[in-house]
């Protein structure tokens, strides 16, 4: 009889543990942990930054690339924050590229729109939210330490419009008022 009680307590503890794990696996904390341990995509490498607008509000258009490492996951959203001294606020962010199902490997984006000016981009961070099977995954996508500006990503010129570019040939910044400043390496 004593053995049965001990056995039933073990099953109760096991079932409660499994229920707790199922609940915890759906939280943002678990999703962020999952995204750091087994990311869906590598951090964004910026190739150009341009001033833009979102609904008549100043914004930044980012061109860049990353590597999709787990193609079995479904993209849900990109999330962006402007970091302050003690707290952060969310800012609008979305991919304005035509929708497409992307395969594993290096992929490029031409229009990641972020609701801050290019000068403020270094004070922001961004994540990408995916769903892998039944589990949410939040992968770090942009942090100032990894790809703060196009200068760090290899920009060679600052255009009159405020855009950065990696171009060095004839016509550099031709659609942006010409070259304002050549950047040294």
pLDDT tens digit sequence for 34-46: 899 999 999 998 8
Averaged pLDDT for residues 131-157: 75
Cβ atoms of 95 and 112 closer than 8 Å: yes
Q: Write the DSSP symbol of residue 3.
A: H
Element (H, E) at 111: strand 105-114
pLDDT of 12 above 70: yes
**pLDDT band of 152, cuts 50, 70, 90:** very low
Mean pLDDT of the chain: 84
Predicted local distance difference test score (pLDDT) of residue 21: 74
The answer to whether the pTM exceeds 0.85 is no
- Residue 163: exposure state from Cβ atoms within 10 A (0-12, 13-18, ≥19): buried
> What confidence tier does 147 reach under pLDDT thresholds 50, 70, 90?
very low
Above 60 in pLDDT, residue 149?
no
């Amino acid at each position: 009889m004593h053995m049965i009680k001990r056995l039933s307590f073990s099953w109760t503890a096991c079932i409660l543990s499994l229920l707790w794990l199922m609940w915890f696996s759906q939280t943002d904390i678990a999703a962020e942990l999952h995204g750091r341990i087994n990311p869906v995509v590598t951090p964004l490498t910026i190739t150009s930054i341009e001033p833009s607008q979102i609904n008549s509000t100043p914004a930044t258009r980012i061109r860049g690339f990353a590597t999709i490492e787990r193609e079995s996951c479904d993209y849900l959203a990109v999330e962006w924050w402007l970091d302050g001294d003690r707290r952060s606020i969310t800012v609008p962010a979305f991919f304005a590229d035509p929708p497409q199902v992307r395969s594993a490997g290096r992929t490029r984006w031409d229009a990641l729109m972020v609701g801050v000016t290019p000068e403020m981009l270094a004070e922001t961070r961004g994540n990408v939210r995916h769903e892998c099977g039944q589990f949410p995954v939040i992968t770090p996508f942009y942090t100032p330490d990894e790809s703060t500006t196009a200068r760090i990503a290899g920009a060679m010129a600052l255009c009159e419009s405020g855009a950065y570019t990696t171009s060095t040939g004839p016509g550099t910044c031709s659609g942006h008022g010409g070259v304002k400043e050549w950047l040294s390496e």
